C-alpha cells in the first residue's frame, strides 16, 4: 500500500489519504474518502478451508493496483493474512477488511477464515455484508464448510456469486462442480464469463452467477471483480427496515473489536444510515452509555488511513470506544434513539428492543439484531508462569475476550482457577500463542476438557427448607419448585406459579431467581451448566428478618434436589463429521470410527475418494487429525461441525462420573 500525504479541506480537518500506486486514474482525493453509496460494495469472501480465498484476494488487490506484487500464502507474504500464526500456518484465522477501488467503485472486502473453529468470525462478518463471493475448489466441488457458510449467508439473506477456483488442477471438473453446486446448495447457477438481467436475478436471489478461473495462475480474477461491481448490490439496494425510524441520523453496528498495542481497542463499524465524524460522541444503545469517538480509520488489512467522517453504507474503524463490544448498536445520541423508538411505535411496528432507563422512565429503544455467539465446546484452566503475572494474564484475557466473543473466561468458584472456554483445539491453541506473542506471558494451559451439560429426563416437584442461626436469630426459608424437561430449549427458563392472594416481594423474587440461576450454572451431577429445563416456582415462605442470602442458598439446594429426583442426565456435544478417504483406507477408518462411538450416515464416492458422512461425540475426537494421518499415510482429510448435544447412555455417564470423581 502506498500512502501519499495530501491535505484535504473537509471542515477544518487535514487527512492522510491512501491512494493506489498504480491504480485507476481519475480518482480525486475527495473520491477516496467520500464515495457515493451506489458505488460501494461491502462484500465477503467465503469458502471451505484452502479453496483459495486469500490467494484470490491477493490477486484482486494486485489487479486493483493496491499492491505491487502478488502475495502468496505458501510464501507467507499476503496482505490479508497478516497475523504471524496465519502466515506460519498458511490459513486465515481472523477476517481482514481491505478497501480498494475497481472501475469507479469502492470495494470493502472481508476475507474470512474457512476452518470450522473460526465460524464465529465468518458469522460476524456476514452480519455486515451486502454481498458475498463463494469460492470453490473445482476439484472438490461443494465441501462441508462451504455448506455451513452458505447456510449462514442464507440466514442473513445475502446475494452471492460463485467462483470455481483451481481450474488449472488436472483433477478439476467444471461440469461436476456445477452439478454439485446445483444439487447440494439447491440453487440455479447462471454459468457466465460475460454478463444486465443477471444483476436483477442475483439481487432477487432467484439465481447465483457462477464464474471460474485459477487464482494461482492469474486466470479469471478480473472478470470476478467485474462481476462483484456489476451484479452485487450497493448498500442502498439492500432493505433495512429499521433505517426509516432513524431518518438522517447515524445508526451503526459494531461487528468486530481488535486490540491495537498503540491505539487501544479498534472497533469495526458498519454504518447503515447518516454520517459519523471523528472527535464526536455517540450513544451505545446496547450498553446504555455515551462513548467518545476520537478517530475514524479506513482499514487496509493491518494498515489504516485516518478519515474525518464516514458516511452511510461504509465500513470504518472507530478509535476511542471503551465499552463497545461486538453486536452493539451505536447511534448519534440517546435522544435520537428515543425519537426512533417513538416513530416505530406510532407506526405500530415494534422494532428489535433493548430496555433502558431514561430520566427514571423505562423506555424501549430500537437495536439492530446483533451476532449470535456459539456455545463453546471445550474448556481448560489457564495459569500464569508466576503469581506476579496474574494481573497481566487477566488483562490479556480481557482484551482477547473483547476481540473474540466465542472465547469465554470465568473463575471456577471451587478451585479459584481461571477457566478458558473455546470452540476447538486449534482455537485454544491460537489463544495461548497470542497470549505469549502479543502479551509476553508464558501461560500454562491445563488439559483440554469437553464442555458437557446437565439436564433432566422427567418432571419432579420438591420442597426444600434451610434454617441457620445467625447473630442470635433464626433465619429460615422454604421453597417449593418443579422442574420439567424441555428438549432443545437452551438455557434454563423460569416461570412463577400463580399465587392466590400471595404476592411475592420483588427482592424475594430476585433472590429466588438468582438462586435458580446459580444452581443451574453448576448442575448437581458434575457441576456442568444445566439446560433444556423449565423451572416453575410453586411457593416461597420466608421467616420475617431472614437474610436473602439464606433464601438464595435454599433455592440452590432445592433446585439440585429436584434435578436429581427428575433423573439427572449428562449431555455431551456431538459433531457432524465428513471424511474424504481413498478406497484402500476406507475399512480401517471405519473401524477406528466405531471405536470412537461414531455413527455413519452414508458412504459415497466423490471422484477417486470415498466420502464418509456421520456423527461422533466430541470427547472421542481429540487429536483425531494425527490418528487419521497415521491410518491413511496422510491421504485422507476431514471436517467437523458442532451439531448440538445428545444424552449419554447410563453406562457412558457412569464411566464419566467415575473418571471425574472416582465415585
Ligand X SMILES: Nc1nc2c(ncn2[C@@H]2O[C@H](COP(=O)(O)OP(=O)(O)OP(=O)(O)O)[C@@H](O)[C@H]2O)c(=O)[nH]1
Which residues of the shown chain bind ligand X in the complex (CB under 6 A)?
47, 49-55, 73-74, 90-92, 113-114, 165-166, 168-169, 214-216
The span from the CA of 425 to the CA of 624, in Å, is 11
CA 392 to chain centre: 26
Q: Is 212 helix (H, G, I), strand (E, B) or coil?
A: strand
H or E segment to which residue 604 belongs: strand 599-606
The span from the CA of 299 to the CA of 98, in Å, is 6
CB of 578 to ligand X, least distance (A): 16
Taking the least distance from each CB to ligand X, the nearer of 166 and 427 is 166
CB of 214 to ligand X, least distance (A): 4
Q: Tell me the longest C-alpha to C-alpha distance in the chain.
A: 88
Q: Is 302 helix (H, G, I), strand (E, B) or coil?
A: coil
Taking the least distance from each CB to ligand X, the nearer of 91 and 208 is 91
Taking the least distance from each CB to ligand X, the nearer of 94 and 557 is 94
Taking the least distance from each CB to ligand X, the nearer of 165 and 476 is 165
Taking the least distance from each CB to ligand X, the nearer of 118 and 245 is 118
Q: Where are the alpha helices (DSSP H) in 13-155?
A: 29-33, 53-63, 84-89, 119-126, 144-155
CB of 59 to ligand X, least distance (A): 9
Work out the number of other CB atoms within 10 angstroms of the CB of residue 316: 25
H or E segment to which residue 379 belongs: strand 378-383
Instruction: Quickly list DSSP for 244-279.
Output: HHHTTS-EEEEEEEEEETTTEEEEEEEEEESEEESS
H or E segment to which residue 575 belongs: strand 569-582
CB of 112 to ligand X, least distance (A): 8
- Cross-strand pairs, 165: 137
CB of 50 to ligand X, least distance (A): 4
Taking the least distance from each CB to ligand X, the nearer of 112 and 484 is 112
Q: Give yes or no for a contact between 251 and 272, defined as CB atoms under 8 angstroms apart.
A: yes
Taking the least distance from each CB to ligand X, the nearer of 377 and 426 is 426
H or E segment to which residue 422 belongs: strand 418-422
H or E segment to which residue 656 belongs: helix 650-661
Give the HSE-up count for residue 97: Cα atoms under 13 Å, Cβ half-sphere.
28
CA 338 to chain centre: 29
Taking the least distance from each CB to ligand X, the nearer of 210 and 296 is 210
Work out the number of other CB atoms within 10 angstroms of the CB of residue 201: 16
CB of 126 to ligand X, least distance (A): 15
Taking the least distance from each CB to ligand X, the nearer of 163 and 452 is 163
CB of 220 to ligand X, least distance (A): 9
Taking the least distance from each CB to ligand X, the nearer of 55 and 309 is 55
CB of 111 to ligand X, least distance (A): 7
CB of 173 to ligand X, least distance (A): 14
HEC states along 518-563?
HHHHCCCCCCCCEECEEEEEEEEEECCCCCHHHHHHHHHHHHHHHH
CB of 89 to ligand X, least distance (A): 8
- Cross-strand pairs, 573: 645
Name the closest residue to ligand X (Cβ).
Answer: 114
CB of 106 to ligand X, least distance (A): 23
What cell does 98 get?
481491505
- C-alpha separations of 636 from 49, 89, 588, 612 in Å: 15, 19, 12, 11
Taking the least distance from each CB to ligand X, the nearer of 216 and 576 is 216
Taking the least distance from each CB to ligand X, the nearer of 47 and 332 is 47
Residue 30 CB contacts under 8 Å (≥ 6 apart), including other chains: 8
Alpha-carbon torsion angle 189, 190, 196, 202, nearest 10: 0
Taking the least distance from each CB to ligand X, the nearer of 53 and 127 is 53
CB of 74 to ligand X, least distance (A): 5
The span from the CA of 565 to the CA of 454, in Å, is 13
Q: Using CB atoms within 10 A of its CB, is residue 28 exposed (0-12), middle (13-18) or buried (19+)?
A: exposed
Please work out, in degrees rounded to the nearest 5, the angle formed at the alpha carbon of residue 431 by the alpha carbons of 428 and 436: 130
CB of 62 to ligand X, least distance (A): 13
Amino acid at each position: 500500500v502506498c500512502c501519499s500525504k495530501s491535505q484535504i479541506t473537509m471542515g477544518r480537518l487535514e487527512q492522510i489519504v491512501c491512494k493506489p500506486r498504480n491504480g485507476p486514474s481519475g480518482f480525486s482525493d475527495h473520491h477516496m474518502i467520500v464515495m457515493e453509496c451506489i458505488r460501494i460494495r461491502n462484500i465477503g469472501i467465503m469458502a471451505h478451508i484452502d479453496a483459495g480465498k486469500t490467494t484470490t484476494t491477493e490477486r484482486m488487490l494486485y489487479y486493483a493496483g493496491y499492491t505491487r506484487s502478488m502475495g502468496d500464502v505458501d510464501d507467507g507474504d499476503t496482505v490479508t493474512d497478516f497475523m504471524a500464526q496465519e502466515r506460519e500456518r498458511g490459513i486465515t484465522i481472523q477476517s481482514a477488511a481491505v478497501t480498494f477501488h475497481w472501475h469507479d467503485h469502492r470495494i470493502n472486502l472481508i476475507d474470512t477464515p474457512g476452518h470450522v473453529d473460526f465460524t464465529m468470525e465468518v458469522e460476524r462478518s456476514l452480519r455486515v455484508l451486502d454481498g458475498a463471493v463463494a469460492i470453490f475448489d473445482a476439484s472438490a466441488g461443494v465441501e462441508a464448510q462451504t455448506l455451513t457458510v452458505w447456510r449462514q449467508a442464507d440466514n442473513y439473506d445475502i446475494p452471492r456469486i460463485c467462483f470455481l477456483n483451481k481450474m488449472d488442477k488436472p483433477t478439476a471438473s467444471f461440469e461436476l462442480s456445477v452439478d454439485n453446486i446445483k444439487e447440494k446448495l439447491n440453487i440455479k447457477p447462471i454459468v457466465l464469463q460475460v454478463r444486465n438481467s443477471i444483476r436483477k436475478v442475483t439481487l432477487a436471489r432467484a439465481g447465483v452467477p457462477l464464474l471460474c478461473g485459477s487464482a494461482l495462475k492469474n486466470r479469471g480474477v478480473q472478470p470476478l471483480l467485474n462481476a462483484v461491481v456489476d451484479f452485487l448490490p450497493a448498500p442502498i439496494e439492500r432493505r433495512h427496515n429499521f433505517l426509516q425510524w432513524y431518518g438522517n441520523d447515524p445508526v451503526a453496528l459494531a461487528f468486530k473489536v481488535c486490540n491495537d498495542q498503540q491505539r487501544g481497542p479498534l472497533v469495526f463499524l458498519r454504518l447503515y444510515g447518516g454520517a459519523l465524524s471523528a472527535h464526536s460522541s455517540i450513544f451505545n444503545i446496547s450498553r446504555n452509555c455515551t462513548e467518545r469517538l476520537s478517530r475514524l480509520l479506513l482499514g487496509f488489512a493491518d494498515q489504516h488511513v485516518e478519515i474525518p467522517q464516514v458516511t452511510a453504507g461504509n465500513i470504518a474503524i472507530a478509535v476511542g470506544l471503551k465499552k463497545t463490544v461486538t453486536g452493539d448498536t451505536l447511534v448519534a445520541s440517546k435522544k435520537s434513539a428515543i425519537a426512533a423508538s417513538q416513530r416505530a411505535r406510532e407506526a405500530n411496528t415494534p422494532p428489535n428492543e433493548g430496555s433502558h432507563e431514561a430520566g427514571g422512565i423505562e423506555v424501549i429503544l430500537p437495536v439492530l439484531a446483533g451476532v449470535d455467539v456459539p456455545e463453546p465446546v471445550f474448556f481448560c484452566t489457564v495459569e500464569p508462569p508466576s503469581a506476579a503475572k496474574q494481573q497481566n494474564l487477566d488483562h490479556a484475557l480481557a482484551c482477547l475476550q473483547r476481540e473474540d466473543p466465542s472465547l469465554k473466561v470465568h473463575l471456577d468458584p471451587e478451585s479459584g482457577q481461571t477457566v478458558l472456554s473455546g470452540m476447538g483445539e486449534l482455537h485454544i491453541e491460537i489463544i495461548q500463542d497470542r497470549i505469549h506473542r502479543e502479551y509476553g506471558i508464558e501461560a500454562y494451559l491445563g488439559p483440554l476438557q469437553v464442555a458437557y451439560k446437565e439436564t433432566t429426563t422427567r418432571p419432579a416437584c420438591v420442597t426444600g427448607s434451610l434454617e441457620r442461626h445467625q447473630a442470635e436469630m433464626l433465619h429460615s426459608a422454604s421453597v417449593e419448585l418443579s422442574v420439567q424437561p424441555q428438549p432443545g430449549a437452551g438455557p434454563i427458563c423460569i416461570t412463577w406459579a400463580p399465587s392466590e392472594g400471595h404476592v411475592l416481594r420483588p427482592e424475594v423474587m430476585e433472590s429466588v431467581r438468582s438462586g435458580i440461576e446459580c444452581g443451574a450454572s453448576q448442575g448437581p451431577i458434575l457441576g456442568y451448566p444445566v439446560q433444556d429445563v423449565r423451572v416453575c416456582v410453586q411457593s416461597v415462605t420466608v421467616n420475617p428478618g431472614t437474610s436473602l442470602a439464606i433464601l438464595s442458598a435454599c433455592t440452590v439446594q432445592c433446585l439440585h434436589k429436584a434435578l436429581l429426583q427428575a433423573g439427572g442426565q449428562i449431555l455431551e456435544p456431538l459433531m457432524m463429521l465428513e471424511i474424504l478417504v481413498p478406497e484402500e483406507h476406507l475399512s480401517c477408518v471405519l473401524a477406528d470410527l466405531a471405536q470412537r462411538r461414531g455413527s455413519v450416515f452414508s458412504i459415497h464416492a466423490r471422484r477417486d475418494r470415498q466420502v464418509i458422512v456421520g456423527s461422533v461425540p466430541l470427547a472421542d475426537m481429540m487429536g483425531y487429525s494425527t490418528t487419521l494421518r497415521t491410518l491413511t499415510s496422510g491421504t485422507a482429510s476431514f471436517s467437523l461441525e458442532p451439531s448440538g448435544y445428545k444424552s449419554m447412555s447410563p453406562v457412558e455417564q457412569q464411566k464419566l462420573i467415575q473418571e471425574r470423581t472416582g465415585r
